[in-house]
Amino acid sequence: MECLKMSSIAPRPRVTGIHSIALRVPCYAEAIAFYRDVWLLEDMGERDDSHAFRTACADHDNLLLSSGEPGIVNIRAFSR
């Protein structure tokens, strides 16, 4: 199998910001406390099977946490 060369990959837009991110975390309660108490995100409570947070001045949930094997579930980014 041949490896992809950078020249064969279509150019990607430059990421200029993160709109929202959803993460799976193994220590659910500890992660909730961390983002609430250390990062001081606004705790929006439970949403379906996730826990939601917002940053200052946000009109939407910026961070969703769910319990499970660690990993990124979804990222929505701004680009130009």
Find, among 11, 10, 15, 12, the residue nearest to 79 by Cα.
Answer: 15
Non-local (6+) Cβ contacts of 28 within 8 A are 51, 65, 66, 67
Which pLDDT value is given to residue 1? 44
In 3-state terms, what secondary structure has residue 64? Answer: strand
The pTM of this model reads 0.73
Residue 19: pLDDT band (50, 70, 90) is confident
Structural domain spans, the chain:
26-70
Residue 79 has pLDDT above 60, yes or no: yes
2-13 average pLDDT score:
60
d(CA 36, CA 33): 5
47-57 average pLDDT score:
87
**Which contiguous run of DSSP H or E holds residue 35?**
helix 28-37
